[in-house]
Structure 1
């Protein structure tokens, strides 16, 4: 499809799409509470004649079928954050303590713009597109329950695209990375049991605080002395508590933390160490330990074939200077990872930064904002991504 045609069609719907973004921005909702946002999405999908399915409570899937061919998908997350907005803009959040501080309103608007494009230009493509509007990316994750409810099946999705606003990248540019892009994350809790005694008679007890202090050092050696230093992994102990009084030997210490890795093999190794070696280590010091781990998001690993297509699409639309090659993977998490385990796809970053307009603040900051021209770029590129994939089936 001609690039000029895509840009011309996007220009026709750009202003309306910006209005949609602002409306969503003004009315933020937290994970699995996005009832109004979901209804707004349904209304637009209905206007466009798109089949609608619900999943994971507030999640929505719009299905647009247009003859035989490849089944492709794009995903937008729709939830906001529990942050009070400090921007003084006409579309400032009207809900106290809630804000779209991660750009999910932008993701949703871009995807709705793409829906309108494909619904109005059925003579230009063949196949099936699933537009996935996912709840709760910021909390427990809506991707996995949506997948478990079959959003990638019937018909089965073969390719999928996702994007995220990038305040570190200038508007009009895109961040891409082959292979590993985001880390996995698991949350652990350790309870160290000792035996209480009077502080003047420490020999009569087992000090859980002393054990915990040594355990912290031991846990850090799991990465520094057991993992190949060329692998990416970090264990963070972010909370520790214990003790009842200044003159009592502590009998219980609780600590909580996270494990972040990029390799599934390294992740498995560390989790095994946490479940087994930590318990044995505490036992050698006279105490006992309970370890529990709550699995979080998996690593985002982009498909090389689809990433190469994305790179070429950016070059064709905007020139090579619009590509920002990301050298190192990010250690933050993104549950788009679960979609990439089921379909070939790529997750990329959409530049939204504009220093002249004061749009410089990072994600999750109360003054985070975007240059709304990024919505135009996001729509154009996602449309081209889907078009190129669908053309493979012709």
Structure 2
């Protein structure tokens, strides 16, 4: 069995990875525009002599085939896209692309996966089965993970389990956060178009006021959280945009509401959709108007599989020590499209802490978000050790 000392990231590789991270951070690209990022990843893999496969316009995956007999097919996902954020970190390797920034740590995720590819490829004589390392575009957009799945990234051969991490500024640097069950919420959007009948405010009885209907819907939507959902199950219903009306003395004939929902179970996610549609239509009808609802499914919740999570947690404890592995008390109501992978294969998604003592904490998507590069080897060692020890035995035998 491989020891934790054997998978430690050597200093020369670490220095190369730090340079890779700086390059990625300097040259961020938005979702589905990661052409230079993709070309750079390809250039690194070619330099290392590691075969790869292109998928879609900017996606890449690497299959590392073990030389130690048959075994499971494990997948690892890293997201490669950046955000439309103007960087304000003053780092010497700050973004050179105005208005675009790696404000969510995807430059770190990509670098960690590249390092994991190198480590696993060098140790494939110890590996049973195979590992598919997926560099995924478009995580910050809708449907990117699902597009890769539809393109067959989980097939030929079928992937048996998936892993992913996310840098997390709310845990101390080098700490691993694990969560059984839901770790992130679903994220769906809705657009409610309310149609009334326009008229003059002096004669309101001849009109149907879309703004009045809108106010009633706004008043009722929170009851889907407070009265229609379990008080111990987190859900969110939020309206963030309203457009309607033309003048102070005109009865509005149309109002459009735009909002989002979050849920940590598949059942609550579907329930919110049907409730929002039914509530809006019925309120509009009661006031003599009409409501049309466009409900846009985006990301499912990320629900961690117990066995894969146990394998990851046990491996992290052996690598870092028990004091460095934290059980997260509650899910994040943020979303990640890794949920599309987790819906199909047993998976775990964990947090890798980046908070440094004495330094201010900036949340994900903040223009001053940053992390220290020394976290990169930690992520690589967790992935490598979990795969080469427990997970290559098969998920059902991993613990």
TM-score (normalised: structure 2): 0.95
Task: State the shift of 1:325 in Å.
Answer: 1.4
- 1:253-264 equivalences under 5 Å are 253-264=255-266
Q: Does structure 1 residue 99 correspond to structure 2 residue 88? A: no
Q: Residues 69 and 390 of structure 1 are in contact (CA less than 8 Å); yes or no, is this contact kept in structure 2?
A: no
* 1:348 alignment partner in structure 2: 350
Per-residue CA deviations over 1:52-104 (Å, capped at 9, x if unaligned) read 22223211111111243211111100000111111122211111111100000
Q: Residues 213 and 283 of structure 2 are in contact (CA less than 8 Å); yes or no, is this contact kept in structure 1?
A: no
Q: Residues 70 and 127 of structure 1 are in contact (CA less than 8 Å); yes or no, is this contact kept in structure 2?
A: yes
Q: Distance in 2 between matches of 1:388 and 1:340?
A: 22
Q: Distance in 1 between matches of 2:80 and 2:143?
A: 11
Segment of structure 1 superposing worse, 100-109 or 228-237: 228-237
* 1:384 alignment partner in structure 2: 385
* 2:363 alignment partner in structure 1: 362
* 1:191 alignment partner in structure 2: 193
* 1:42 alignment partner in structure 2: 42
Per-residue CA deviations over 1:252-310 (Å, capped at 9, x if unaligned) read 11100001111111111111112233212210111111111110100000001111111
- Call closer, same or farther: CA 1:244–1:282 in 2, change over 3 Å: same
- 1:303-314 equivalences under 5 Å are 303-314=305-316
* 1:177 alignment partner in structure 2: 179
Q: Does structure 1 residue 65 correspond to structure 2 residue 65? A: yes
Task: State the shift of 1:249 in Å.
Answer: 0.9
Task: State the shift of 1:29 in Å.
Answer: 0.4
* 1:2 alignment partner in structure 2: 3
Q: 2:82 aligns with which of 80, 100, 104?
A: 80
- Secondary structure, aligned partner of 1:118: helix
- Secondary structure, aligned partner of 2:23: helix
Q: Residues 73 and 160 of structure 1 are in contact (CA less than 8 Å); yes or no, is this contact kept in structure 2?
A: yes
- Secondary structure, aligned partner of 2:223: helix
* 1:326 alignment partner in structure 2: 328
* 2:18 alignment partner in structure 1: 18
Task: State the shift of 1:155 in Å.
Answer: 1.0
Per-residue CA deviations over 1:177-235 (Å, capped at 9, x if unaligned) read 00011110110001111111111111111111111111111111122111121221110
* 2:208 alignment partner in structure 1: 206
TM-score (normalised: structure 1): 0.96
Q: Distance in 1 between matches of 2:357 and 2:30?
A: 29
Q: Residues 217 and 279 of structure 2 are in contact (CA less than 8 Å); yes or no, is this contact kept in structure 1?
A: no
Q: Does structure 1 residue 217 correspond to structure 2 residue 219? A: yes
Task: State the shift of 1:351 in Å.
Answer: 0.9
- Call closer, same or farther: CA 1:390–1:265 in 2, change over 3 Å: closer
Q: Residues 216 and 283 of structure 2 are in contact (CA less than 8 Å); yes or no, is this contact kept in structure 1?
A: no
Q: Residues 194 and 207 of structure 1 are in contact (CA less than 8 Å); yes or no, is this contact kept in structure 2?
A: yes
Q: Residues 352 and 379 of structure 2 are in contact (CA less than 8 Å); yes or no, is this contact kept in structure 1?
A: yes
Structure 1, unaligned stretches of length 5 or more?
A: none
Structure 2, unaligned stretches of length 5 or more?
A: none
- Secondary structure, aligned partner of 1:296: strand
Task: State the shift of 1:390 in Å.
Answer: 4.8
Task: State the shift of 1:48 in Å.
Answer: 3.3
Task: State the shift of 1:121 in Å.
Answer: 2.0
* 2:290 alignment partner in structure 1: 288
Q: Distance in 1 between matches of 2:120 and 2:330?
A: 35
Task: State the shift of 1:126 in Å.
Answer: 2.5
Cα RMSD, aligned residues only = 1.4
Q: Distance in 2 between matches of 1:227 and 1:22?
A: 45
